Amino acid sequence: MPVPFTLIGRTVRLEPLAEHHAEALAEAGAEDRTTYAFTPVPHGREAAREYIARALADQAAGRSVPFATVAVADNRVVGSTRFQELDYWQGPVVWPPTPGVPFGDPLLAVPDAAEIGATWLSAKAQGTGINTEAKLLMLRHAFEQWGVQRISLRADARNLRSRAAIERLGATCEGVRRAHSRGLDGVVRSTAFYSILDEEWPAVRDIIELRIAAATSPSAPDRTLAPECLGHGSSLLTA
């Protein structure tokens, strides 16, 4: 499984999530919480410690690589994100298949596919470009260092803000899985799934780099949600 690492950009630094981030993470999550209806965000120091403990347990089990999201300008923790759903295809074909298990030395293995998720930002950090650059750093590492074949992203189908942000990255919508899981609010949710493939990465990278370069210019209009992610009930438009 991948060992923890740091990714550094112009506006954001993604550093391995650790216990010492608990207080700062709690402060970030204590800002205006109105945008967290569909996203699990720790509220309070104890909740932040538990959040980190669960993330580190997943990391120890080889299931994820979690980060603290840090604003470079003031060295302030503004949220968290992670690689998860790590999948390994190396080694001989076996039956029954055992997805997610690396072949050989797990400390040397890198995934062939992964998901970027569990992403949230403090209210003040939203809309600053930090999320876009963080995604660029993660995608660049996944495709250019690990050599993955696919990166997946997902969002509660009702979370139009997150879905639009994913589509602005250039990800392709694969559709909506209806009644997929229980949402944060206790309601059975549908989930919109997106992906970026290895052969699509150069074009996606160009899209993201252009968005970052134009960050000081008037924002481009939001993309319309892809047809594959519509037509699953009017609740997508009225939630």
pTM for this predicted structure: 0.86
What SS3 string covers 76-138? EEEEEEEEEEEECCCCCCCCCCCCCCCCCCCCCCCCCEEEEEEEEECHHHCCCCHHHHHHHHH
pLDDT exceeds cutoff 80 at 56: yes
Domain chopping of the chain, boundaries: 7-217
pLDDT reported for residue 102: 65
- Torsion sign over Cα 67, 71, 72, 77: negative
Write out pLDDT tens, residues 34-45.
999 888 999 999
Three-state DSSP at 199 gives helix
pLDDT reported for residue 217: 59
Three-state DSSP at 19 gives helix
Write out pLDDT tens, residues 112-121.
999 999 999 9
Burial of 92 (0-12, 13-18, 19+ CB in 10 A): exposed
Q: Could you tell me which CATH number the domain at 7-217 has?
A: 3.40.630.30
Sort strands 172-182 and 150-156 into parallel, antiparallel or unpaired: unpaired
In angstroms, the CA 34 to CA 94 distance is 47
Residues 6+ apart with CB under 8 A from 220: 211, 214
pLDDT reported for residue 231: 46
Instruction: Kindly provide the b/e burial profile for residues 160-179, where b requires at least 16 CB atoms within 10 angstroms of the residue's own CB.
Output: bebbebbbbbbbebeebeee
Write out pLDDT tens, residues 194-218.
999 999 999 999 999 998 988 755 5
